[in-house]
Every structure is written in structure tokens, then in C-alpha cells.
Amino acid sequence: MRHAYRTALVTGASSGIGESFARLLAGRGADLVIVARRAELLDGLARELVERYRVAVEVVAADLTDPAQRAEVEGRLRTDPVELLVNNAGYGAFGAFAELPLDDHLAQIELNVTALVRLTHAAVPGMVARGRGGVLNVASMSGFAPSPGSATYGASKAYVASFSESLHAEVAGKGVHVTALCPGFTRTEDDVPANLLWLRRDDVARAGLDAVAAGRALCVPGMQYKAAFPALKLVPRPLLRAAVNRMWQQAAETR
């Protein structure tokens, strides 16, 4: 059964794919809670969405890596629940693992994994009790292949994909949909067209929203990535590691 969500909370909503989620949901008539660190960007987006779509938009300025600020968002999900949770906020630090500060690695885990799990846990029990709801977790194609140069980021997105698929199976038949959205390279600027590698953020967000509404466990947007996805499972891992490591080395040499 396809769900039309009437209320949604979107993290990382101030820009990029998160902003696209907010705009698309508002265009579908959903009342929103938009969450990000930058209050001024959220305020501007909220005013625009209210005026254009006549929906209610609540702004929550919060750093989800800060336990106290994150707890406020968790509490909001428990006491005033929404029908759809979009865990879009994410952080990637790129560079050789040994050369990056430990805090950069831990910050990725805190936002990409810990915050996502905590917000999901705040939302899902109520959804199950009500027999209705959805969770859309933004993972990445990088979660399915070795990621030299972004080892912690890739591992965090692998966690998101695995976690989402497992949770999808747990709540199947209970009226709750959990979906992992796994985009490849995505342009965050509106004026950059898609090409062979790069996807448009609106296309990625639309694919994810359609997938969770339809109850699909996994969404890989873009025909080029849909075609490449099976190959990641078929190519022998030593060959795959060698190929992506060569790409990483070439990229590092051009910096």
C-alpha cells in the first residue's frame, strides 16, 4: 500500500537534498518540521514553503552531534509524532584515514550513525503502535564498495543501509515502511544539470520519497547507478578494491 504522508520531519533540511525533501513534501501537502544547524536558512525556507504551499512548517535549529540538542529533537518525535521521518543529515570528511584528525572520524559516526539510530528509535515505536508511518534513511552507493579516502564515511553509510534493511524486515506488515536511499554522486546546486555520473538533488529526493511511500527497502536513484549496482556484488572484491584504490590514488595526486 502506498502511503501519502501528512506530516514529516526532515533533518539536514537547510540545503542540498534535505532542502529538496522539504520542498517536495510541502508540494505534496505535508506539514513539516525542518531540522538543521543554520537557523537563518531554515527560517527563510519555512517562510517560502508556508507562503507557496500553505502548509505548516516548524523550524528546529539543532546540531545533531550535540547530545543535548539532539535530545530535543528526539523528544519532539516522541511527544508530537510525525508520519514520516527523513534522516538526511550527514557528514563526510575526506582524506587518508591516518592523516585526518580522530575527531573528524568520530563526528561522522556521531551524525551518520548515532543520531540516525536515536531519531529512528524515537519515532518507530509510536509508528508501530499507530500502524502507520515511514522512515527514509539517506545512505550512499559508497556503502556497498570499499571507500579509500573516505573509509569512515563509507562504513557509516554501509551501516545505514544494513540497519534500514533489517528494520524494514522487522516492521513489515505493521503499516510502517523503512527505506534506505542510496544515491551516487549528486549535485547540490539547482543550476547544474545531471550527466553520466552526477544526479540532480530533486531527482534523488523524489525517488526516495516515492520509494518509502511504496514500501521498498532500498532505493538506488538514477539509471546509471541502477545498472552499476549489481556489478558491485559480482566483481571479485580484490579487483574492486584495486580499482577503487587506483581511483583514489589518482584523485589524491591531482589535489
**Beta carbons within 8 Å of 212's beta carbon, 6+ residues apart:** 3, 84, 134, 135, 136, 177, 178, 179, 219
Active site residues: 153
- Contact assessment for residue 222 and residue 183, using Cβ atoms and an 8 Å cutoff: yes
- CB atoms inside a 10 Å sphere around CB 30: 23
Grid coordinates standing for 178? Answer: 523503512
Question: Would you mind telling me the total number of residues written for the chain in this entry?
Answer: 255
Q: Give me the helices (H) in the chain, please.
A: 16-27, 39-53, 67-79, 102-109, 116-130, 151-171, 201-214, 223-234, 237-254
